[in-house]
Chain A
Amino acid sequence: MTKDECKQAVLEIIADIAPDEDLGHLKHDARLRDQLQLDSMDFLDIVMELRKRHGIEVPESDYQQLASLDSCADYLTPKFTAQGK
């Protein structure tokens, strides 16, 4: 999986948990919570959906790695690859 494909997988999750948001103008290097109305429960949703949809575990100590789309791609791409994706 490429980093762009990884970002797309994350965006698909965000589109479901924040359905009122326009994701077309997201800056990839900026914090998601600065650009979207995401609260802590929504953030837990991202973690849960990564687990449910892709079998990826994100330990609490690594939550900060999901701050932006770029950091998501850096952190998650190897995990997707390890899943054979």
Chain B
Amino acid sequence: MTLPRIVITGVGLTAPNGNSLAEFRHNLLHGVAGVEPYEVRYMGRLIAGVCHFDPLKHQRKKEVRVGTRAGSIAIYCAREALADSGLALETMPKDRTGIYIGCTEHGNVETENEIYALSKFNYDTKYWSHYHNPRTVANNPAGETSLNLGITGPAYTIGAACAAGNLGLIHAAQMLRLGEVDLALCGGVSESIGTFGIFAAFKSQGALAHHPDPKKASRPFDKARNGIVISEGGCLYTLERLDDAQARGAKIYGEIAGYHVNSDASDYVLPNPARQSECVARAIARAGLAPRDIHIVNTHATATPLGDIQEAQGLARVFVDCPDTFINNTKSFIGHAMGAAGALELAGNLPSFDDHLVHPTINVDTLDPQCALPNLVLNQPLPVKRVDAILNNSFGMLGINSTLIVKRCVA
């Protein structure tokens, strides 16, 4: 059975260092990180990746007040992706459009805010907001997007911890192939910097990054790395079947070549290199490629002492004798955008198909020998002969692994 080919035709994003793909890419090629001091309730001044898009570009003030930060991020990304795709909201098939948004979590921010507000009223629950439920339902960011755009097709979120950004794209590709929808808005969002709980939990785990210079705090593969920088962000794509995209003369960023999703089934938080390498290898096989055909591997590495080593071990098993495979990491610029990470990190690499540059992993002053993969692109962008396939890893807690491969679209 020949499955329909699925292509990316639009990108909308907000990252701590850019509110469009062009700005994001420019900063990834020029060493501009987006981590800054950030006040966290109960914990004081920490650091985080904060986005600075204008929600009122696409929302009314009332929508912002009633909705959630994740909703605002999703709406901004969806509107920007649609504009980038050349599709007109007025004429597109709204009942045949699906919205599939990956989230690491949703509802923590709103619940913490509500409990904090309630504390000012001696925890009397008659002061609990009637907006709590619509704000905290797990489909909130997708639902707010459907409301804002008037899209009446399926709109829901996909919970997949920090693999969720990739899962949004993968699920959308599956729905397009099944013919369930004709257009998908998909990817991932995160509002996680709004919850003290995530900061406190990573701190208790000994996995929260700290550094005198916030912009140097996220340092995957560096010997002095000390944990995760938590970030917010979002990235949504328009995905279409190739035939449809060609029929309307759409710009095509790349083609979904293959993917794989599996589970460690071994620990709540510790990664499993054997399952990660299995995930990567099966995605490559599904794409009909060999490891040496992959030209960029964007790592998931979050700058935890153990996790980076384990991912490096997993990749080393797969990419043997691959002289044209280059490896980078985007979290070194923007921290860990949680449910948005996979989608954002893929986006930051897509322009490589055209400019033949591999953006680097920054903040590596002393490479950890246990992470010293061949062709790891350190601190400066690297011009390469060609980029035909990008492999994007995103892994998450409870052992969910995802690998997504996008290739140059040759129609």
Contacts and interface: CB of A to CB of B under 8 A. Distances in A.
A23 interface: no
B66 interface: yes
Interface size for chain B: under 10, 10 to 19, 20 to 34, or 35 or more residues? 10 to 19
A18 B127 contact: no
Interface string A42-55: 00110010011000
A19 B61 contact: yes
A20 to B, nearest CB: 5
Chain B contact residues: helix, strand, loop or mixed: helix
A13 interface: no
13 contacts: A18-B62, A19-B61, A19-B62, A19-B65, A20-B60, A20-B61, A41-B66, A41-B130, A45-B130, A48-B127, A48-B130, A51-B127, A52-B127
Residue with the highest number of chain A CB atoms closer than 10 Å, among B62, B121, B131: B62
B66 A52 contact: no
Chain A interface extent, by class:
10 to 19
Contacts of B61: 19-20
Contacts of B130: 41, 44-45, 48
Interface of A: 16-20, 37, 41, 44-45, 48, 51-52
Contacts of B121: 52
Contacts of B62: 17-20, 37
A51 B126 contact: yes
Contacts of A19: 61-62, 65
Interface of B: 60-62, 65-66, 121, 126-127, 129-131
A17 B62 CA distance: 7
Contacts of A16: 65
A17 to B, nearest CB: 7
Contacts of B60: 20
Contacts of B66: 41
A17 B129 contact: no
Nearest to B128: A48
Contact of B129 (A20, A37, A48): A48
B127 A41 contact: no
Nearest to B124: A51
A16 to B, nearest CB: 8
A59 to B, nearest CB: 12
Contacts of B65: 16-17, 19
B122 to A, nearest CB: 12
